[in-house]
Amino acid sequence: MPELTEEIKDALKGISMIKSATFMNGFLNIDLNRAMFANEVIKTINKEKETYAQEASKGKTICIDYSAPNIAKSFSVGHLRSTMIGNALKNIYRKLGYNVVGINHLGDWGTQFGKMIVAYRLWGNKELVEQNPITELQKLYVKFHEESEQNPSLEDDARAVFKSLEDNDEDVLSLWKYFREESLKEFMMMYELLNVSFDSYDGEAFFNDKMEPIVQMIEEKNLLVEDDGAMIVRLDPLPPALIKRRDGATLYITRDLAALFYRKKTYDFDQVLYVVGNEQKLHFEQLKAVTNLMGYDFDIKHVNFGLVLQDGKKMSTRQGKVVKLYDVIQEAIKEAKNQILAKNPNLENQESVAKAVGIGAIIFNDLKNDRNLEVDFNLSQMLAFEGQTGPYLQYSSVRIASILKNQTVLDSFDSSIYEGDLYFQLIKDLAQFNQVLTKAAEQNGPHVVSRYLLQLSSNFNQFYGQHKIIVEDEVTKQANLNLIRAIRYVLNEGMRLLGMTALEEM
């Protein structure tokens, strides 16, 4: 042991950033050269182009499957969560140097289209549907469920219609196409508002003609078993996976299997992340189990998340109680605008600032806690300028922008000032950014970034409360300016990764 400690001490001596190293009670105490360390940290951030790419990410491809709303139904709060978590993960992985493919596995196929088409043919009002497609279709869907309770044969009709859709019946197909197009219009409007995009929109329908070879593969491996006319794969102790119904129609999992093999062939992924709510846990366990039995060991992960609650209750689209997310977002923007105008009536670009604040508030509210926890949806709380909110982060960054305004920041500065404790706390925070990103990726948890940004903002605001930034002494002033500029850069970059927009003014 003593030799070892001497050896370590000797090795550390060569590192100029370490002032001294001592062993005490089995612990190694390293005294850092704070000024030198600080200088490194700020210089690195100033480079801006620093990619944070790591060895581990080199040449690695990750498919992220997120958002995936269902056609002819409204965009649910669950899909909004998936959209924002997936989008943040995509940004974080890209920043770390991974090749990321963002996939929107649209729910545009399945028995529900049989139901929808049966309902439309029985009760649909063409004009009403044309005026307000999603709302009307949603109502028809709800009606189908109510009616089929009295009249179970409707379910058989729906299955038959879906089967004819899979068999490319022209009339059914053209209705389906119409539903799909109208839904996509609404979804795209939402994505544009949220500033979210995808590399692929290959949804379930895309795999209609790609399932047969997979089913054959399963059969060749002797895994396909007939069960009361249907085709299943036994997965004891898990419940069996239903691959084909009695009438030959395929299922959600059949399409997910086809999608997985297609993605392997197309993107040669190293990993696939499925950002989908907790309620589909079994589905992804089955997906993995079937591929394992087939002899593949794909690295697939269900990135699950908790519910969104409003006033302690599940926010849902069931029982015809449709929470239109587009409207909710517009309301947030309107409320953000009122708040901003109360604070800063002469603000320019009010519309775009209100949009950034309103949407940023919703995004941050969703990403601030561990994704497994439930999210409380309370507009006035998430829009507050104080507390753990999106506007608080934006406001901290804007504060820095206003100090930097009309100042010239020189790239050379004296870092000895940063040795003081309050300064050095901020330096330590800044130095953590890289590790924070790695940890967020390891946990698939955007909240790691969120918590970090809250801490950085709060430490900055505390510092600002105690320190004058623009001081007479030019050397101190330059050190101050360099520090806050680096803080703003990290805040803005962190917000961008979460999907928020940083502002100059608010």
Q: Site residues (CB under 6 A) for ligand ARG?
A: 65, 68, 70, 105, 107, 256, 274, 276
Closest CB to ligand ARG among residues 65, 493: 65
Spatial distance between the Cα atoms of 356 and 380, rounded to a whole number of angstroms: 16
| Structural contact between residues 8 and 28, judged by C-beta atoms closer than 8 angstroms | yes
| Alpha helix ranges (H) inside 151-228 | 153-166, 170-194, 212-220
Spatial distance between the Cα atoms of 46 and 486, rounded to a whole number of angstroms: 7
Closest CB to ligand ARG among residues 105, 477: 105
Closest CB to ligand ARG among residues 65, 182: 65
Spatial distance between the Cα atoms of 301 and 274, rounded to a whole number of angstroms: 6
Q: Considering the complex, what minimum distance in angstroms separates the CB of residue 458 from ligand ARG?
A: 36
Q: Considering the complex, what minimum distance in angstroms separates the CB of residue 318 from ligand ARG?
A: 13
| Cα separation values, 70 from 104, 141, 183, 293, Å | 11, 12, 9, 29
Closest CB to ligand ARG among residues 186, 256: 256
Spatial distance between the Cα atoms of 359 and 330, rounded to a whole number of angstroms: 9
Count Cβ atoms below 10 Å from residue 253 Cβ, excluding itself: 17
Closest CB to ligand ARG among residues 286, 501: 286
Closest CB to ligand ARG among residues 278, 310: 278
Q: Considering the complex, what minimum distance in angstroms separates the CB of residue 98 from ligand ARG?
A: 19
Q: Considering the complex, what minimum distance in angstroms separates the CB of residue 70 from ligand ARG?
A: 5
3-state DSSP helix/strand/coil percent for the chain, to nearest 5?
60, 10, 30
- 3-state class of 387 per DSSP? coil
Closest CB to ligand ARG among residues 256, 429: 256
- 3-state class of 222 per DSSP? coil
Q: Considering the complex, what minimum distance in angstroms separates the CB of residue 112 from ligand ARG?
A: 10
- 3-state class of 446 per DSSP? coil
Closest CB to ligand ARG among residues 109, 463: 109
- 3-state class of 243 per DSSP? strand
Closest CB to ligand ARG among residues 274, 433: 274
- Residue 278 burial (C-beta neighbours within 10 Å; 0-12, 13-18, 19+): middle
What's the farthest any 2 CA atoms get from each other in the chain?
87
Closest CB to ligand ARG among residues 84, 398: 84
Closest CB to ligand ARG among residues 102, 494: 102
Closest-CB residue for ligand ARG? 107
Instruction: Count how many residues are written for the chain.
Output: 506
Q: Considering the complex, what minimum distance in angstroms separates the CB of residue 410 from ligand ARG?
A: 51
| Cα separation values, 276 from 83, 282, 372, Å | 9, 12, 11
| Structural contact between residues 457 and 393, judged by C-beta atoms closer than 8 angstroms | yes
Q: Considering the complex, what minimum distance in angstroms separates the CB of residue 122 from ligand ARG?
A: 25
For residue 230, what are the β-bridge partners? 227
Q: Considering the complex, what minimum distance in angstroms separates the CB of residue 271 from ligand ARG?
A: 14
| Structural contact between residues 271 and 300, judged by C-beta atoms closer than 8 angstroms | yes
| Structural contact between residues 137 and 73, judged by C-beta atoms closer than 8 angstroms | yes
Closest CB to ligand ARG among residues 285, 414: 285
Q: Considering the complex, what minimum distance in angstroms separates the CB of residue 274 from ligand ARG?
A: 5
Q: Considering the complex, what minimum distance in angstroms separates the CB of residue 72 from ligand ARG?
A: 12
- Residue 285 has phi, psi (to 5 degrees) of -65, -40
Q: First CA to last CA across the chain, in angstroms?
A: 59
Count Cβ atoms below 10 Å from residue 237 Cβ, excluding itself: 5
Q: Considering the complex, what minimum distance in angstroms separates the CB of residue 104 from ligand ARG?
A: 9
Q: Considering the complex, what minimum distance in angstroms separates the CB of residue 312 from ligand ARG?
A: 24
Spatial distance between the Cα atoms of 479 and 48, rounded to a whole number of angstroms: 18
